[in-house]
Chains A and B, each alone.
Chain A
């Protein structure tokens, strides 16, 4: 019986059919999806922190409104993704607990601090840029609700990268000090942005089954290459120096090739030893606890309304 179900399931996947919430699915597929989607949701929500820090310090009303809109989007995207994960039978509370006790991960990029105003530009351009490369690919993921939320998110997010690049361009056409600030932000955010695509395919723990089940459609290394290729001319256009001094164009392959990433740093940050890991989770816990009275008030209000109606 189970074997038939599994064959049937794989046949749907192979035929590019989507899997919907009420379909039978292998337990490992469900678990793999819950892990990936909740991690994705946590990244959206934790990702509000580094940029959120700059809302009150934005240099103009226009920039402030744009940043506010972007951070608000990230919160909304977290919500889409939590709801998507919930179709797989996990509760919001379980996911939040897993984030807060450290058993669930989020994108390690958000453990790097946003130190200057230029970092806000670099984050929009590079971090959202890398996320978009990944998310465009995930629009074709095999799980229907995840695919649909990716379509919605990509559509909404298209302005995030452009506002970041526009910010960088403005700085690069400004004073020497502003251009230097842009260069510094690029230097710091370039490498961790490349790490957002995860470990090499040969090292990636979940890649094989994720590809077989079409949860992921393209490998970490393929997507990273795509991002490196699209970013190099954008750096050149800004008139900034490329942070990777070894970057060369490989005519034969039609791709840029650069330095190996610092995978020790990647592991350190993933395992909790980045600049901001503790701060990010503590802040989430604090915000969650400080919001307890709102959740309580909602329950009380509902109870009171029920009593009144009775």
Chain B
């Protein structure tokens, strides 16, 4: 397999125990195992992570930003889902 044909992997790092894995970038590799080793070399040279996830980019199903108007539209007119929507007098506002 030529380098151009290697699969694309997305890399996620957990910087510290207790935190979510966060997307940090992508790389090409033959398989999961190699992707993991590459990710270690490329993304954690300064102890940026305690745990790495590698996911084949093909396996990611993503929403499209162009669709966002119709995709998220129903939330925009529902401000009552936010705590700040409810005006309470100062004496009891601490809840």
Contact = CB atoms under 8 A, between A and B. Distances in A.
Interface of A: 12, 17-20, 62, 65-66, 69, 73, 129, 144, 147-148, 156, 158-159, 161-163, 165-166, 169, 230, 233-234, 237
Given A18-B18, A147-B18, A163 B86 contact: yes
B80 A17 contact: no
A234 B20 CA distance: 36
A158 B83 CA distance: 6
Contacts of A233: 91-92
B88 A163 contact: no
Interface string B67-90: 000000000001011110111110
B60 interface: no
Interface of B: 14, 17-20, 51, 78, 80-83, 85-89, 91-92, 95
B95 A161 contact: yes
A20 B83 contact: no
B95 A162 contact: yes
A14 B49 CA distance: 21
Contacts of B87: 166
A165 B17 contact: no
B85 A159 contact: yes
Contact of B17 (A18, A230, A234): A18
Given A161-B95, A162-B95, A163-B86, A20 B51 contact: yes
Contacts of B51: 20
B20 A148 contact: yes
B80 A62 contact: yes
A169 to B, nearest CB: 7
B17 A17 contact: yes
A237 B89 contact: yes
Contacts of A169: 88
B86 to A, nearest CB: 4
B18 A17 contact: yes
B83 to A, nearest CB: 4
B83 A144 contact: no
Contacts of A20: 14, 17, 51
Q: Which 10 A-B pairs have the closest CB atoms?
A: A18-B18, A158-B83, A162-B86, A18-B17, A159-B83, A166-B86, A17-B17, A66-B80, A144-B18, A237-B92
A17 B19 CA distance: 11
Given A73-B81, A162-B83, A166-B86, 5 more contacts: A20-B51, A62-B80, A66-B80, A69-B80, A165-B95
A162 B88 contact: yes
Nearest to A147: B18
A166 B81 CA distance: 14
A144 B95 contact: no
A20 B87 CA distance: 39
Contacts of B17: 12, 17-20, 144
Interface centre among A148, A161, A162 (most CB of B within 10 A): A162
Contacts of A18: 17-18
